[in-house]
């Protein structure tokens, strides 16, 4: 209690990077935001689809640095997260995926982020985040079934300025950053930023729980983990960014954004027990996109080429003599192009996209001793034409769109995998419709319908290959055969949203309740063929292939609410209570099984990794004179996961397994408990100086985002920054 009191006293005199800039973002009217993700320059208040904005104030006052922690805290997402800068996300019942593709599309300034690992981006250069829930494949194509998250970076402004910040905290956390914004000429602007962030000591796991844990919950976390150290969990990364804008004329402008992320010697603990072996990895990422825009009173033309590359190197262990056992090289490039213009009383968006994805990897059993990779090198190319029409009059807002997609695959021949290579292609069409109507008494009715799709990885569609590995302990070569299925259809979904919102004119109170239902069809699963004839003269046995077999059904409600007491006092200050809650009524997947007699059966099962309920809530106070305080909470509902560590958990028995929702004890499914995590931040700005303290995991919660990988406990961070 004494430590908490001292911590509170420190907090009253400090502030991290809560920059109270001269443009007075505190009085920012969120409804007036132009949502870039719509590609149609549409204001938030005129969009029927469900959109959430993580604005600059929220970003600055959350203790987390990497965008994975920011997103899971600020909006209701499902997360798979490991120590060592690794995470993937899902939403609205679509499970987060740890593979190359995902059901939630991640964008950076409207272009593909190029990775599903959202941890590889620091919030330091982010201006705001737009979260669109529900399918948005009409505008962005594949992988937008669950929704779209568009991360908008800071842009150059017509003013010479800069800032520098240093922060230090628990577990040897040290963060240093600096940025400069400059005016080269009346038409030429630039911005350059650099940061280094590191955790030099292994973190300590939380030792308490705000919600009472059952005996089973304690056994799942392992009773020994409470207050223990997560060994081999240090990390460091650097991020360099540059932005440039040149105004060619009053109508034309061009520019580019460049981000380089480098993280070497990231320690990976394997899991709490270290059973997978302690290791390390390196990550190099680059994101580049250019822009060419023409804006007139009648139209707005936009063209943006982009290029992303992520190189991952995974080592055998964490020693100085370790070597790279596996590395991957993923590249995405292409362009986004569209034009907005008026036609009668309608606003029309029309455009074309080209996206190319290339995957390559290598595997080694010794330094410079290559062995067969886990999968063949492959690529896919997606070309699309799309259009959306918007109509607004009085209290009515309507939009409707259509997208045509052409996708082609190619698998490279690989002799070490006995891979024959191959190519396939197919086409899809995706429509969408949104409607919003303003009712009396400040009520607003909104609804939308959209379809989405997700393309399978290329090696699931074409080619034959074999993966082999020598098991020295048994003096045995293990071989597994894989074959693509050219008849695979893309996974598809259709979603309906219906909602009602209420907002007082003075922004004192806001409420929104949205019901959604999704049908996920043609889910791709693995299946096994007894034998396959390869090249007309060779027979392969026990071949793993893929088929469209399963469907998922998800439905639930989302509640958003906020009240600003300061609105009753002429906005002299801000005292806002806010909350966002998602509850799933149903989240099941139909899985097919084949009995020993060869008869197919379908079993409906609760979906793994997707939480029954998620929520975030808090209170923020801003006196508009430099003092800012936020207490933020996150509720993590229960989730299901397969038990992969049964032999490592003392006291856990088959009696503790989940036996509802289509599962039996033989499936070894664990229902993980619910958790409650609080963060606290407070600070003060005066003139060009800012001081601050943040506390992550204030109540020192012991919890996991992935079974066996306990998250950090309480962490305090103090910082100082100077603007010029």
- pLDDT tens track for 582-635: 999 999 888 776 655 555 678 888 988 999 999 999 999 999 999 999 999 999
pLDDT at residue 137 above 70?
Answer: yes
pLDDT at residue 261 above 80?
Answer: yes
Q: Cβ distance 102 to 90 under 8 Å?
A: yes
Higher pLDDT, 68 or 41: 68
Buried/exposed 124-152: b ≥16 CB within 10 Å, e otherwise:
bbbebbbbbbbbbbbbbbbbbbbbbbbbb
Give the C-alpha separation, 67 to 76, whole Å. Answer: 14
Q: In this predicted structure, what is the pLDDT of residue 22?
A: 38
Give the C-alpha separation, 541 to 434, whole Å. Answer: 50
375 is written with which tokens?
């999968």
Name the average pLDDT for the chain. Answer: 88
Q: In this predicted structure, what is the pLDDT of residue 346?
A: 93
pLDDT at residue 161 above 60?
Answer: yes
Mean pLDDT, range 68-86, rounded to an integer? 91
Higher pLDDT, 63 or 204: 204
Among the listed residues 529, 501, 544, 497, the one whose alpha carbon sits nearest the alpha carbon of residue 516? 497
pLDDT at residue 283 above 90?
Answer: yes
Among the listed residues 592, 627, 587, the one whose alpha carbon sits nearest the alpha carbon of residue 608? 587
- What is the SS3 assignment for 219-234? HHHCHHHCCCECCCCC
Q: Cβ distance 51 to 36 under 8 Å?
A: no
Q: In this predicted structure, what is the pLDDT of residue 20?
A: 38
pLDDT band at 15 (very low <50, low <70, confident <90, very high): very low
Give the C-alpha separation, 153 to 133, whole Å. Answer: 20
Q: In this predicted structure, what is the pLDDT of residue 31?
A: 63
pLDDT band at 417 (very low <50, low <70, confident <90, very high): confident
Cα dihedral sign, 432-142-522-92:
negative
Across 298-395, the runs of DSSP E, i.e. the strands, are 299-315, 324-343, 346-366, 369-371, 378-393
CB atoms within 10 A of CB 332: 21
Q: Is 372 helix (H, G, I), strand (E, B) or coil?
A: coil
Higher pLDDT, 570 or 260: 260
Whether pTM > 0.85 for this model: the answer is: yes
CB atoms within 10 A of CB 200: 11
- Max mean pLDDT range (245-254, 472-481, 548-557, 605-614): 245-254
Q: In this predicted structure, what is the pLDDT of residue 472?
A: 53
Angle at 139 between CA 136 and CA 143, to 5 degrees: 50
Q: In this predicted structure, what is the pLDDT of residue 29?
A: 61
Of the listed ranges 193-202, 347-356, 362-371, the least confidently predicted one is 362-371
Q: In this predicted structure, what is the pLDDT of residue 365?
A: 86
Q: Cβ distance 68 to 694 under 8 Å?
A: no
Give the C-alpha separation, 160 to 185, whole Å. Answer: 11
Cα Rg, the chain, nearest whole Å? 26
pLDDT band at 8 (very low <50, low <70, confident <90, very high): very low
Give the C-alpha separation, 526 to 470, whole Å. Answer: 24
Rounded to 5 degrees, φ, ψ at 524 are -90, 130
Give the C-alpha separation, 283 to 431, whole Å. Answer: 38
pLDDT band at 477 (very low <50, low <70, confident <90, very high): low
Can you tell me which residue has the tokens 């084949």? 594
Q: In this predicted structure, what is the pLDDT of residue 251?
A: 95
Q: In this predicted structure, what is the pLDDT of residue 61?
A: 87
pLDDT at residue 696 above 90?
Answer: yes
253 is written with which tokens?
């402008």
DSSP 448-512: EEEEEEEPPPGGGTS-EEEEEEEEGGGTEEEEEEEE--TTPPPEEEEEEEEEEEEE-TTSSEEEE
Q: Cβ distance 609 to 584 under 8 Å?
A: no
- How confident is the model over 365-377, as pLDDT tens digits? 888 788 888 888 9
Give the C-alpha separation, 265 to 200, whole Å. Answer: 11
In the chain the first and final C-alpha atoms are separated, in Å, by 39
Q: Which residues on neighbouring strands pair with residue 343, listed in sequence order?
A: 346
pLDDT at residue 478 above 80?
Answer: no
CA 234 to chain centre: 22
193 is written with which tokens?
């930023």
Of the listed ranges 213-227, 467-481, 665-679, 685-699, the least confidently predicted one is 467-481
pLDDT at residue 27 above 70?
Answer: no
pLDDT band at 25 (very low <50, low <70, confident <90, very high): very low
Q: In this predicted structure, what is the pLDDT of residue 674?
A: 96
Q: In this predicted structure, what is the pLDDT of residue 2?
A: 39
- Rounded percentage of the chain residues whose pLDDT exceeds 90: 64
- Max mean pLDDT range (140-144, 428-432, 540-544): 428-432
- Which residues does 451 contact at the CB level (< 8 Å), separation at least 6? 135, 137, 138, 430, 431, 432, 492, 493, 494, 495
CB atoms within 10 A of CB 260: 15
Length of the chain as a residue count: 724
Q: In this predicted structure, what is the pLDDT of residue 469?
A: 63
166 is written with which tokens?
């240093």
Q: In this predicted structure, what is the pLDDT of residue 597?
A: 54
- How confident is the model over 559-576, as pLDDT tens digits? 999 999 999 998 899 999
Q: In this predicted structure, what is the pLDDT of residue 99?
A: 55
């Amino acid at each position: 209690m004494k430590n908490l009191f001292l911590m509170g006293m420190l907090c009253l005199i400090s502030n991290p990077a809560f920059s109270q800039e001269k443009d007075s973002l505190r009085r920012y009217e969120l409804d007036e935001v132009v949502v870039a993700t719509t590609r149609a320059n549409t204001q938030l208040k005129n969009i029927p689809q469900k959109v959430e904005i993580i604005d600059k104030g929220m970003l600055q006052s959350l203790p987390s640095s990497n965008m994975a922690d920011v997103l899971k805290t600020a909006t209701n997402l499902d997360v798979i997260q490991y120590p060592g800068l690794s995470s993937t996300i899902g939403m609205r019942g679509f499970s987060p995926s740890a593979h190359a593709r995902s059901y939630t599309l991640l964008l950076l300034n409207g272009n593909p982020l190029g990775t599903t690992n959202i941890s590889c981006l620091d919030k330091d250069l982010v201006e705001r985040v737009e979260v669109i829930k529900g399918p948005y494949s009409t505008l962005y194509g594949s992988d937008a079934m669950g929704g779209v998250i568009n991360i908008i970076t800071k842009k150059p402004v017509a003013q010479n300025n800069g800032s520098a910040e240093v922060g230090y905290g628990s577990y040897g956390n040290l963060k240093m950053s600096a940025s400069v914004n400059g005016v080269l000429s009346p038409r030429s602007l630039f911005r350059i930023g650099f940061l280094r962030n590191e955790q030099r000591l292994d973190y300590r796991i939380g030792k308490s729980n705000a919600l009472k844990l059952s005996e089973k919950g304690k056994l799942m976390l392992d009773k020994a983990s409470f207050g223990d150290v997560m060994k081999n969990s240090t990390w460091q990364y650097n991020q360099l960014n540059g932005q440039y804008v040149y105004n060619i004329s009053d109508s034309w402008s061009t520019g580019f954004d460049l981000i380089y992320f480098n993280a070497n010697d990231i320690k990976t603990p394997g899991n709490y027990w270290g059973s997978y072996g302690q290791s390390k990895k390196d990550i190099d990422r680059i994101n580049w996109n250019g822009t060419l825009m023409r804006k007139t009173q009648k139209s707005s033309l936009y063209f943006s080429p982009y290029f992303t590359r992520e190189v991952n190197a995974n080592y055998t262990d964490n020693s100085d003599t370790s070597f790279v056992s596996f590395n991957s090289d993923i590249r995405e490039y292409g362009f986004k192009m569209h034009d907005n213009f008026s036609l009668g009383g309608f606003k029309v968006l029309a455009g074309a996209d080209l996206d190319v994805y290339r995957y390559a990897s290598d595997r080694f059993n010794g330094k410079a001793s290559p062995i067969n990779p886990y999968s063949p090198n492959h690529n896919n190319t997606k070309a699309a034409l799309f259009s959306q029409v918007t109509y607004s009059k009085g209290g009515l807002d309507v939009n409707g769109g259509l997208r045509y997609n052409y996708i082609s695959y190619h698998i490279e021949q690989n002799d070490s995998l006995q891979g024959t290579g191959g190519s396939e292609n197919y086409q899809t069409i995706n429509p969408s419709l949104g409607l919003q109507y303003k009712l009396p008494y400040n009520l607003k009715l909104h609804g939308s319908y959209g379809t989405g799709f997700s393309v399978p990885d290329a090696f699931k569609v074409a080619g034959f290959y074999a993966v082999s590995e020598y098991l020295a302990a048994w003096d045995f070569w293990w071989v597994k055969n894989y074959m693509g299925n050219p008849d695979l259809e893309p996974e598809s979904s259709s979603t309906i949203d219906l909602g009602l919102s209420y907002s007082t004119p003075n922004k004192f109170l806001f409420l929104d309740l949205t019901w959604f239902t999704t049908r996920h069809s043609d889910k791709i699963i693995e299946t096994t063929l007894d034998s396959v004839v390869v090249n007309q003269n060779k027979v392969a046995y026990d071949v793993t292939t893929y088929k469209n077999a399963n469907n998922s059904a998800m439905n639930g409600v989302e509640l958003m609410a906020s009240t600003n007491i300061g609105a009753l006092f002429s906005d002299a200050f801000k005292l806002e209570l806010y909350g966002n809650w998602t509850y799933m009524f149903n989240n099941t997947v139909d899985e097919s099984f084949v009995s020993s007699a060869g008869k197919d059966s379908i079993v409906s099962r609760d979906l793994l990794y997707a939480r029954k309920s998620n929520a975030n809530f808090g209170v923020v106070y801003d006196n508009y004179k430099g003092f800012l305080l936020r207490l933020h909470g996150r509720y993590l509902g229960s989730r299901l996961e397969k038990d992969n560590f049964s032999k490592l958990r003392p006291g856990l028995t088959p009696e503790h397994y989940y036996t509802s929702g289509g599962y039996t004890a033989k499936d070894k499914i664990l229902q993980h408990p619910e958790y409650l995590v609080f963060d606290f931040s407070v600070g003060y700005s005066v003139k060009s100086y800012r001081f601050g303290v943040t506390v992550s995991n204030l109540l020192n919660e012991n919890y996991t985002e992935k079974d066996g990988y306990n998250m950090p406990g309480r962490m305090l961070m103090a910082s100082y920054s100077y603007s010029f």
